[in-house]
Amino acid sequence: MRLLIVEDEPTLGQQLRNALEGAGYAVDLATDGEEGLYLGSNEQYDAIILDLGLPEIDGLTVLDRWRKEGKTTPVLVLTARDSWSDKVAGLDAGADDYVAKPFQTEELIARLRALIRRASGNASAELIAGDIRLDTRSGKVTKAGEPVKLTAQEYKLLSYLLHHKGKVVSRTELIEHIYDQDFDRDSNTIEVFVTRIRKKLGADVITTIRGLGYSLEEPADA
């Protein structure tokens, strides 16, 4: 899953980026509203963290422009502790949730997980396909109850396919959603990771749809 943080306070922005990357996300960081608006409009994200008090272009204007462009990416806004008017304005502008500063990073990550699950139609914190389970809270993957060790990139790819179970996901979409903007998008690592996941979870867990991409389906006898 790929996230965008739009936060002008350097220390907080980097702390959030480090925490989210540690939780298994690919993260881009913008430090002002103009850069954040551009990235949110032109790149693909699974969720966005948006501070409202931004230089260049304020957060409410950025959010309003995204929504007018038809962008439906879940947005979590960061507000001042006691500014109820900011919270109301953010929600009215199209935010999906908010967190007041100062906040606990664990709460913010939990809210992001929930936003991403809801956006893909998953109510539970556990993503399940047959005997494969991925717990989005702990990051643990099991097959038939036995733990399976995945690398960070294998986990990101499996998580994205499970969030979009039953859909055909193109290679381009996978690259856009599991890597940050600095990744070499001409590389063949997606194919490598798919092969590795099949070795660990079963050859039939991910189906290649020739010319279109990959699909993770619920087993027929599930």
pLDDT in tens, 116-171: 988 888 777 889 999 999 998 888 999 999 999 999 889 999 999 999 999 999 98
Residues 137 and 92 in one domain: no
Q: Which of 43-57, 82-96, 131-145 has the lowest mean pLDDT?
A: 82-96
Residues 207 and 102 in one domain: no
User: What distances in angstroms separate CA 209 from CA 61, 167, 171, 188, 216, one per listed residue?
Assistant: 41, 11, 11, 16, 10
Residues 94 and 191 in one domain: no
CATH number at residue 174: 1.10.10.10
Handedness of CA 121, 126, 132, 138 (dihedral sign): positive
> CA-to-CA distance for 103 and 123, rounded, in angstroms?
24
CATH number at residue 88: 3.40.50.2300
Residues 26 and 134 in one domain: no
Q: Which domain holds residue 101?
A: 2-119
Q: Which residues of 175-191 are buried (b: 16+ CB within 10 A; e: fewer)?
A: bbbbbbeeeeeeeeebe
Question: For residue 184, what pLDDT band results from cuts at 50, 70 and 90?
Answer: low
Which has more pLDDT, 220 or 59? 59
Residues 112 and 167 in one domain: no
Q: 134 has which bridge partners?
A: 127, 141
The pTM of the whole model exceeds 0.75: yes
Residues 55 and 133 in one domain: no
- The amino acid at 142: T
Tokens of residue 94, six digits: 């199209």
pLDDT reading at 6 higher than 90: yes
Residue 220 is assigned to a structural domain of this protein: no
What domain count does the chain have? 2
> CA-to-CA distance for 161 and 155, rounded, in angstroms?
10
Residues 14 and 108 in one domain: yes
